[in-house]
Structure 1
């Protein structure tokens, strides 16, 4: 049977990379077949997202449709408290060891949430492999989003050689370690002791010797770091606006800030950014978050001194 569904078109040469990323982010619709159109592949995805369009797909014969879930390393996170569905998910991929259901939202100064184990090993810890990097993650101890994998690569591609980089809310280090190969130094700060412990573990694991972990409040970074930065990453979507002024103080003239925020209308933070000195601002949607709200990134450039 042929159905019309959301799909993402990529060149054939990027097919496996895209498939792995969609699987990792829990976005690939495995009930439908990937289709080829000339020199492109079209991957079926579970919902509308950036760069997606409507395409015709054939169903996978005999493929059982699984409950909706997100993959982070060897852990699947379900949207429903469904132990029977969790058991099916656990047996669907040999790489899975645990299925979790979140019992709270991401909250608090440490950006953590609680889970219950629906199937598999009683743990919230796993390892995530992303574009050649390996990250130890504890989902109950420190925030991690596999859905920002493409964003990390996008920023790495924009970087020049030997930049001074600041990651103001580093978590376990996915942005900091991804950007490290091009950077002269990456200062990676977080207020959560568990996150910084995992960040230190991940810098060793990935041999990222130019990443400097700091257990520190981002509001006070100017008191301890002696540098102005070429590039600053601000991934604190629920409260990042509170730290924008500090980011501008730490940025060199002509530098770039990547500011992530949950917004409910286009241009929501444009006035505040320009008030602080942003001379060039590009806003784009990273992903849909909830009805009427989406995760946006503002790429902010400041003018010369």
Structure 2
């Protein structure tokens, strides 16, 4: 096969030039010979030393596990197009028809995504006081603890013992960009600290509360891991903390039940402070019911609210969205 022969030190620049000229043969690996590199080309190229060589064909890496998994043809349309990746663990939601093929699906994910070491299927919905779900091991290592990286921070956690959603990374960064240096923040449902640790990079203090002892255990570890001693972990019911904290900003990341804690949030924010409220709503009526509840609770205390922003954070279920409402409280 026709090849261009170049000194090893010039190889990368020449490779780019051959791509630019459109002559680099696709599907073959370059070949090394002592201090030289040979690139396969589709035609002679002026200005380069030409040679004849045999090249190994490169295998095309599949982009999706669906390209390599073996399931009956009639079920292929049911294969999920996405799954959550937390650290080096993948968590996929499988329809009932695909449960018996779970091992094959898990192994296909491991084959395509080399950085993933364990694959689990969702065995139940998020439920209970600690907001966790049952997980079914499909393939890879039988462990649920991992180290997740996002937004420049590291978060150690156990996916079977705490609630964590990697799909909120963009939302967490949106809030971070709004935080002003020196703020005091109250993270009412902190989990392992994805908001708390990130916001602590700018805030003066972050009070991080959670009722799950496992979440607080990992929050303590993550505080040390990220060198954020200004995060203050609080284990317990957030209702018992109400009134003891006066924050510039309150995070209410408990979308299923956040409306039940609006009183606690408003009593814990300074006059002029901001609350980041999260909820779930059907597509037909995304914000109005939540805003009505916010106004009603504020009215009970004689407070006024100023709505600053409202947005769809992510799809949650068919025609259902996780929504965010930012509002200021005046006392």
Q: Distance in 1 between matches of 2:184 and 2:121?
A: 39
Q: Distance in 1 between matches of 2:235 and 2:186?
A: 13
Structure of greater Rg = 2
State the partner residue of 1:212: 232
What is the CA-CA distance between 1:137 and the residue it aligns to? 1.5
Pick aligned residue for 2:325 from 295, 298, 301: 298
Q: Distance in 2 between matches of 1:130 and 1:282?
A: 24
What is the CA-CA distance between 1:183 and the residue it aligns to? 0.6
State the partner residue of 1:19: none
Task: Give the alignment of 1:211-250 within 5 angstroms.
Answer: 211-222=231-242, 225=244, 227-250=245-268
State the partner residue of 2:194: 174
Task: Determine whether 1:271 maps to 2:271.
Answer: no
Which residues of structure 2 form unaligned runs of 5+?
A: 1-59, 67-80, 299-303
What is the CA-CA distance between 1:123 and the residue it aligns to? 1.1
Pick aligned residue for 2:155 from 131, 135, 159: 135
Pick aligned residue for 2:203 from 172, 183, 188: 183
**1:59-78 Cα shifts (integer Å, max 9, x gaps):** xx773532432211101111
Q: Distance in 1 between matches of 2:242 and 2:256?
A: 22
Say if 2:63 and 2:112, in contact at 8 Å, map to a contact too. Answer: no
Of stretches 266-275 and 181-190 in structure 1, the one that deviates more from structure 2 is 266-275
Task: Count how many residue pairs are aligned between Structure 1 and Structure 2.
Answer: 242
Say if 1:263 and 1:296, in contact at 8 Å, map to a contact too. Answer: yes
State the partner residue of 1:73: 87
Say if 1:270 and 1:281, in contact at 8 Å, map to a contact too. Answer: no
State the partner residue of 1:90: 110
Q: Distance in 2 between matches of 1:195 and 1:70?
A: 19
Which residues of structure 1 form unaligned runs of 5+?
A: 1-60
State the partner residue of 2:45: none
Q: Distance in 1 between matches of 2:218 and 2:61?
A: 41
Q: Distance in 1 between matches of 2:129 and 2:308?
A: 28
Q: TM-score, normalised by structure 1?
A: 0.76
Greater RCO (CA < 8 Å, at least 6 residues apart): 1
Compare the two structures and name the one with the higher strand fraction: 1
What is the RMSD of the two structures over their aligned residues, measured on CA atoms? Answer: 1.4
